[in-house]
Structure 1
Amino acid sequence: MKKAVIEPITRLEGHGKITIFLDDNGKVDEVFFQVVEFMGYEKMVEGAPIEEVPRIASTICGVCRAVHFMASLKAGDGVFGVEPPPVAKKLRKLLLSAHHIEDHTEILYAMGLPDFIVGPTAPPEKRNLLGVAEKIGKDVVKDILNKRFAAARIVEILGGKTAHPAPAIPGGWAKSLKPEEVEEIRKLSDECLELGKRSVELFKEVVVNNPEYSKLLREEKFNVRTNYMGTVDENGNVAYYEGVQRIISPSGEEIGRFTGKDYLEFFSEKTLPWSYAKFPYLKKVGWKGFVDGEETPFCSVGPLARVNVSNGFSTPLAQAAYEEMVDFFGGKPIYNIFAYHWARAIEILNHAEEIKRLIEDPEITNSDTCTQLKEVVGEGVGIIEAPRGTLIHHYRTDENAMVTDANMVVPTTFNNGSIQMAVKRAAEYYLNDGKYEPEKLNLIEMAHRPYDLCLACATHAYPSQYGTELLIYSKDGKLIKRIRNT
């Protein structure tokens, strides 16, 4: 038996590797997507005052900073049993949409599209943003980066700084918008809207209208059929800051809805000896290993999952793009992993439209940004949609609101099982001719990039304090320990 190792895997946030085992005939026997780093923020925040946790959690990742900030801030609302005023929610949503735009733009243009614009078998030194600039023009890429900066500037205005937002107050927001800031965001929102339009059109031009890549979008081998989860509003449209978490089966049937702490009724978590990232799975299905289809225990999240669980988008341009995408695939659910990139481009457009809507709200400059805190309830759950998918922060505190337990279930963790299957499918597709060629390895990596991995975000877990069952297995697959909260 032969072994091929891709280490480090490239164009993602964090450190991981892919190990491929080939049989004596050169056929793929097994593939492991391995997360080889550990962060452990669930322990780091213990003993911290809950009002400081958003600023601590934002340092988990330089890419995902605003979403960890926001989820933990929502959990802080719950610890004090308060609901933010309407304007505070709007300011939070405004920051979240701007963050989605800058994040999605980075992932789409710097991580995902080089495989399509430059070509998956181009030299490694060309498969990057500079290679993209050579293909589509330096001025085009400069303009895209400038428009991404417009979104980053909105985050800076609202959050006090670009890197790690500061104005976290349980029950509200630490600052109101000034009229001159509103005017600046109005102008920046025009830049974001142009970026959204260009992203959708560029994806269609480069991928959908290219016969070779269009074939990949329709290739059965790259259909990973799982359950899907995302947040929807009262109309069933995609929601990001608040709403109901909806789960559908691989066939599209609704199998559950929850909010808050009820996530514990749906998910358990499993560890395996070759990765620091856990594997959440649906309790009602049970652990069945890495299988897709109706028997799969996994629940995919992220842009494609949000498309699959929703009726679409609440803004007109994004909704039109969504309908075109669904029509291309002949309906939903859409299973092809490369469709994540398409959905990501549409979400840039959706968030740009949302920013324009929010900034025109007359209430956006209201100074009543915080609700007075009540007695400490002692437990809070914050759930939002991060760019990568559903993100859960769950905290317990003592009577002084000092954190005693923390649980973070992040999108890359939810997608961990799906990524394993996608990478194996790619290895089988490209290597099963019995010929191992190193230049094919990037073709295998193409299968993890649609999920927009953040491995730093995915490795915080300790044995669960919250009732989510933790199963520990030996290398030969035998269950050696079962830990659950009683």
Structure 2
Amino acid sequence: MSKILKIQPITRLEGHGDVTIKLGPDFKVEDAQINVTSTRFFEKFFEGRPAEHAPRLAPRICGICPIPHHLTAAKATEGAWGIWDKIPRPAYKLRELMIQAKQVSSHVLHIAALQLPDLVFGPLAPPEKRNVVAIINAAPELGKKVLWAMKWGQELCRAIGGKAVHPITAIPGGMSKPLDEDTRQKFLKDVPQLVEIGKEVVEIGDKLVNDYLDVITKYAVVPTFYIGLCKANGEHTIWEDDWQKKAHLRVMNKEGKIVEDRPSYEYKEFVGEYVSPHSMATHVYHKQTGYPEGLWRANTLARLNVCDKMDSRTALAPELFKKFRDVVGRPCHMTFAYIWARIIETIAAVEIAANLLQDPEIVSTDVKLADVMPKAGNLAGVSEAPRGTLIHEYWSDDKGIITKANMVVATNHNIGGAELSVKQAAIDIFEKKILDSVKLPEPMFK
């Protein structure tokens, strides 16, 4: 007789969804699903609208990562109009500073609110205790620091983008306003404190990795493909290769071989989408491999899998990356290694943001093209949101009206692989009885 386990809704999730696990006789796992039941329709919302509206509409797609959607929409519009490589360099740098600031705030939020509660109190602690408020109560100084770091990122996004959640300053051809010197100095003086908080988070992460290494290496380990942006030389990036130079999209197969390494706008050559019967979100996979064998995951672990090295502007991140690779190898299929990868990316974002704030060109007033005219065309804009790869492509007519839009967002890239990891986790618990053998540490906080 089958038994259905339903987690409805998933509470610690960026969005809305349920988990359904079907158990057969003797607790045999027959199926596992992630059900995304809400409809979105954003691709249709964009049709018939002026393309210059897209960067203001796109942030509404996600309340956690509006900045990457805003900037990716601007890239896509510039791609359609043939001006993506003509925006002023200071505008390019301002956009990168904004996406790095969002990376800091989002990663800190995810680490502190969505992941640490399970780890510092232990996965067997009462669910009502495993939340960010309990962390603040148990370690108020740590809580204050991570909230301050998150606020720093959000306020920098607001300073550049006009708004922290629904930014408005990225326009076709550049930025609508520059960053002033007083604002630059305000955020620059906080960088040393931000770096120290980052180092504290690294120390906590190191302890948790050591404490949970048995869990990380044995639980919910599932081989998949991976997708993420890289610079042409293999460096990690969430933005582009450089001014006037597109990043590459890389795909790694289960064995760790890079099977795609192309300019990001060529995504249609290898990105396939499968319409799932139990979810409104499509499952994305490597087209040449096929579905479901070619399902991939995006996000932090994927980006560290596909890249060869960290950004050359960073100093501490490469050290952490080397240690990560020494312990988990390449490719790493360990689902619980995502938090470790997220900590490394947080440090990288802090270091790159500091580098950009120190650059005098960041306050240049040369931030937009003087004359931008609509043009018929299409060319995808691609960036990395904290949770994974964003692809926006718009088809513009000669009046600058969007006639068609295609968006492949982080949820699509991750959901198929996430289903595989949920199924593997269920197999580990119900069939392999892993909780009887895996070593769980003493809780860090009582």
Q: Which amino acid aligns with 2:195?
A: L
Structure 1 residue 421: deviation in Å? 0.6
User: Is contact 2:374–2:399 with CA below 8 Å preserved after alignment?
Assistant: no
Report what 2:204 is aligned to: 202
**C-alpha separation in 2, matches of 1:421 and 1:375:** 44
Report what 1:226 is aligned to: 224
Q: 294, 299, 319: which one pairs with 1:297?
A: 294
Report what 1:468 is aligned to: none
**C-alpha separation in 2, matches of 1:138 and 1:111:** 17
Question: Structure 1's 47 and 110: CA in aligned 2 closer, same or farther, altered over 3 A?
Answer: same
Q: 237, 240, 246: which one pairs with 1:239?
A: 237
**C-alpha separation in 1, matches of 2:189 and 2:131:** 30
**C-alpha separation in 1, matches of 2:191 and 2:46:** 35
Report what 1:313 is aligned to: 310
Question: Structure 1's 379 and 27: CA in aligned 2 closer, same or farther, altered over 3 A?
Answer: same
User: Is contact 1:378–1:401 with CA below 8 Å preserved after alignment?
Assistant: no
Relative to the length of structure 1, the TM-score reads: 0.84
**C-alpha separation in 2, matches of 1:349 and 1:162:** 21
Q: CA deviation digits over 1:213-271, x for unaligned, max 9?
A: 2101111x522211222111233110111111111222222211222431111012111
Report what 1:107 is aligned to: 110
**C-alpha separation in 1, matches of 2:230 and 2:321:** 15
Q: Which amino acid aligns with 1:226?
A: T
Structure 2 SS opposite 1:256: strand
Structure 2 SS opposite 1:122: coil
**C-alpha separation in 2, matches of 1:195 and 1:312:** 24
Is 2:17 the partner of 1:20?
A: no
User: Is contact 1:27–1:433 with CA below 8 Å preserved after alignment?
Assistant: no
Structure 1 residue 150: deviation in Å? 0.8
**C-alpha separation in 1, matches of 2:389 and 2:432:** 38
**C-alpha separation in 1, matches of 2:330 and 2:133:** 36
Is 2:271 the partner of 1:272?
A: no
Q: Which amino acid aligns with 1:259?
A: P
Aligned pairs for 1:396-407 within 5 A? 396-407=395-406
Is 2:94 the partner of 1:91?
A: yes
User: Is contact 1:231–1:385 with CA below 8 Å preserved after alignment?
Assistant: yes
**C-alpha separation in 2, matches of 1:227 and 1:423:** 16
Structure 1 residue 63: deviation in Å? 0.7
- Tell me, which stretches of 5 or more residues in structure 2 are unaligned? 241-246, 435-439, 441-446
Report what 2:352 is aligned to: 354
Q: Which amino acid aligns with 1:215?
A: D
Q: Which amino acid aligns with 2:230?
A: V
- Tell me, which stretches of 5 or more residues in structure 1 are unaligned? 290-295, 436-442, 444-486
More moved, 98-107 vs 188-197: 188-197
Report what 1:71 is aligned to: 72
User: Is contact 1:151–1:188 with CA below 8 Å preserved after alignment?
Assistant: no
Question: Structure 1's 375 and 24: CA in aligned 2 closer, same or farther, altered over 3 A?
Answer: closer
Identity of aligned residues (%): 36
Question: Structure 1's 375 and 161: CA in aligned 2 closer, same or farther, altered over 3 A?
Answer: closer
**C-alpha separation in 1, matches of 2:322 and 2:92:** 29
Report what 1:133 is aligned to: 136
Report what 1:117 is aligned to: 120
**C-alpha separation in 2, matches of 1:22 and 1:286:** 27
Q: Which amino acid aligns with 1:312?
A: K
Report what 2:151 is aligned to: 149
Report what 1:192 is aligned to: 194
User: Is contact 2:376–2:395 with CA below 8 Å preserved after alignment?
Assistant: no
Q: Which amino acid aligns with 2:258?
A: E
RMSD between aligned alpha carbons? 1.8
Report what 1:383 is aligned to: 382
Structure 1 residue 194: deviation in Å? 2.6
Structure 2 SS opposite 1:108: helix
Q: 235, 244, 253: which one pairs with 1:249?
A: 253
Q: Which amino acid aligns with 2:15?
A: G
Report what 1:339 is aligned to: 337
User: Is contact 2:374–2:400 with CA below 8 Å preserved after alignment?
Assistant: no
User: Is contact 2:220–2:422 with CA below 8 Å preserved after alignment?
Assistant: no
Structure 1 residue 53: deviation in Å? 0.8
**C-alpha separation in 1, matches of 2:197 and 2:141:** 14
Structure 1 residue 418: deviation in Å? 0.8
**C-alpha separation in 2, matches of 1:433 and 1:226:** 21
Report what 1:35 is aligned to: 36
Report what 2:437 is aligned to: none
Structure 1 residue 417: deviation in Å? 1.4
User: Is contact 1:382–1:394 with CA below 8 Å preserved after alignment?
Assistant: yes
Q: Which amino acid aligns with 1:274?
A: H
Report what 1:418 is aligned to: 417
Structure 1 residue 77: deviation in Å? 1.0
User: Is contact 2:376–2:399 with CA below 8 Å preserved after alignment?
Assistant: no
Question: Structure 1's 434 and 180: CA in aligned 2 closer, same or farther, altered over 3 A?
Answer: closer
